[in-house]
Amino acid sequence: MKKSLIKGFYFTFKIYLTKFFNVFRYLIYLFIDFIIFRTAQKRTTKTLLLIRLDSIGDYVLVRNFFTAFKRSNRYKDHTITLCGNVIWKDLAESFDAKVIDNFIWLNRKRFNNNPFYKYKFLKDIYKRGFETVIDTTFSRENLFGDAIVKTSRAIERIGSSGSPDNYAKWKRRLLTNKYYSKIIPDLDLNIFEFYRNKEFFEKVLSQPIEIIKPVLDITLIDFKIPTNNEFIVIFPGAQEPKRRWVGHNFGFVVQTIIKKYGYDIIIAGSKKDSSISKKLFFCFNSKKVYDLTGKTTLPQLAKLISKAKLLISNETGAVHFAAAVQTPFVCISNGNHYGRFNPYPQAMNIKCKYIYPAEIENDLNNHDLLSTNYRFESNLDINTITPSKVLSAVSELL
């Protein structure tokens, strides 16, 4: 009882401390913006800044729509600059250099915590004098995309009305909607993020976009696969602990696949996943298992997945890579943001299987119910999913 009270107090304290620091950061931003605004700015005509600062998977789901700007009547003669999250820098510069004329890379952690970095970054945005700025993010962030839009002082500043999450909606209405010259209204429906992006860009450009699913063209990416045999990629990491299936479950799946199907196994992930992958890798005394965790760039990871017989992954950017390079995948998910980021719509005709906890599996025919219950968050225990469920999906796809 005492432990639960202490834990509850700590959790509440942490929430209020975070809110305090966010208010403090916002005040610092307003001060920085005030200083920057007092310096001279020279407007550059026919310049467009696109802002996208979320994660790797989010970028895979939006990047194909950037080509529409180059083809549009409205912006085809503009110089296009992308302000992006530095974590997917190599991905964008490899695949989108023909569409994007210039890149500006933002380190989210430094921008959030370092006032000097924030000042230097925002001053650079301001001094470039963009004519048009568009924050392409549905879940707008007042301390990131909204702040950049305000400081840009662009003539035309466009953004989405944003996610209907009540707390975020209240902050946008009170503080940041006024930073925009035009707000694109979004329907209060839970739709797959790719379609959400499509709807937004069509409204911005006032024309239909004929793109039906995410695509990555990996033909020019050079990467040597460490095996000449057919292989399956295992991606055991994930950013949030609640989205990570426990390692020994992956281990059981790997052992069964090697024994039953004879495929080689390649473990992949970012450097942050190294501790997870090492524990998994050392479980096997097999020459059929290769560990490439932290040893690939994002374009190389896309290439690796494109050559795989199958991907088995937690719900991460790797799943969106697989969809974009047409590799079948099994995604192990606790249902977080159900309907928005998972599962892939049947209309896209992507060969995949999602495995959820029983609370979701039992209602898979009731999409509306699941979209309502898990649209913003799911705290279901991903480790109630059994290896046999995953192996059954593997069998179906193979």
SS3 for 146-208, per residue?
HHHHHHHCCCEEEEECCCCCHHHHHHHHHHHHHHCCEEECCCCCCCCHHHHHHHHHHHHHCCC
The domains spanning 37-205 and 231-397 adopt the same CATH topology:
yes
List the chain domain ranges. Answer: 37-205, 231-397
Q: What's the rounded mean pLDDT across residues 85-110?
A: 97
Could you tell me the pLDDT band of residue 169, with boundaries at 50, 70 and 90?
A: confident
Q: What's the rounded mean pLDDT across residues 316-320?
A: 96
Closest CA to 266 of 216, 222, 318: 318
Are the CB atoms for 352 and 329 separated by under 8 Å?
A: yes
Are the CB atoms for 105 and 73 separated by under 8 Å?
A: no
Could you tell me the pLDDT band of residue 122, with boundaries at 50, 70 and 90?
A: very high
Above 90 in pLDDT, residue 109?
yes
Per residue in 32-58, pLDDT (tens digit) is 999 998 888 999 999 999 999 999 999
> Distances from the Cα of 318 to the Cαs of 73, 210, 268, 300, 312, in angstroms?
35, 25, 9, 12, 9
Could you tell me the pLDDT band of residue 12, with boundaries at 50, 70 and 90?
A: low
> Which tokens is 356 given?
């959820």
Q: For the whole model, what pTM was predicted?
A: 0.91
3-class DSSP state of 44: coil
Q: For the chain, percent helix, then strand, then coil, each to nearest 5?
A: 50, 15, 35
pLDDT attached to residue 205? 96
Above 70 in pLDDT, residue 379?
yes
Residue 224 CB burial class (10 angstroms; 0-12, 13-18, ≥19): exposed
What's the one-letter identity of residue 387? Answer: P
Bigger pLDDT: 147 or 281? 147
Could you tell me the pLDDT band of residue 26, with boundaries at 50, 70 and 90?
A: confident
Are the CB atoms for 138 and 376 separated by under 8 Å?
A: no
3-class DSSP state of 102: strand
> Which tokens is 191 given?
């739709």
DSSP codes joined into one string, 10-38: HHHHHHHHHHHHHHHHHHHHHHHHHHHHT
pLDDT attached to residue 11? 53
Element (H, E) at 279: helix 274-281
Q: What's the rounded mean pLDDT across residues 321-329?
A: 98
Above 80 in pLDDT, residue 226?
yes
Above 70 in pLDDT, residue 76?
yes
Per residue in 231-285, pLDDT (tens digit) is 999 999 888 889 999 888 999 999 999 999 999 999 998 888 787 777 776 666 6
Angle of CA points 212, 79, 67, to nearest 5°: 10
> Distances from the Cα of 112 to the Cαs of 26, 109, 144, 218, 241, in angstroms?
10, 5, 8, 34, 22
Determine the distance from the C-alpha atom of residue 150 to the mean position of all C-alpha atoms in its chain, rounded to a whole number.
24
3-class DSSP state of 291: strand
Above 80 in pLDDT, residue 18?
no
Are the CB atoms for 316 and 235 separated by under 8 Å?
A: yes
- Domain at 37-205, CATH homologous superfamily: Glycogen Phosphorylase B; (3.40.50.2000)
pLDDT attached to residue 260? 93
Closest CA to 330 of 349, 313, 315: 313
Could you tell me the pLDDT band of residue 108, with boundaries at 50, 70 and 90?
A: very high
Are the CB atoms for 316 and 57 separated by under 8 Å?
A: yes
Q: What's the rounded mean pLDDT across residues 300-323?
A: 97
Above 60 in pLDDT, residue 2?
no
* Pairing mode, strands 156-160 and 132-135: parallel
Are the CB atoms for 80 and 133 separated by under 8 Å?
A: no
pLDDT attached to residue 287? 85
- Domain at 231-397, CATH homologous superfamily: Glycogen Phosphorylase B; (3.40.50.2000)
Above 70 in pLDDT, residue 7?
no
pLDDT attached to residue 163? 79
- Percent of the chain at pLDDT exceeding 90: 77
Could you tell me the pLDDT band of residue 9, with boundaries at 50, 70 and 90?
A: low
Average pLDDT, the chain: 91
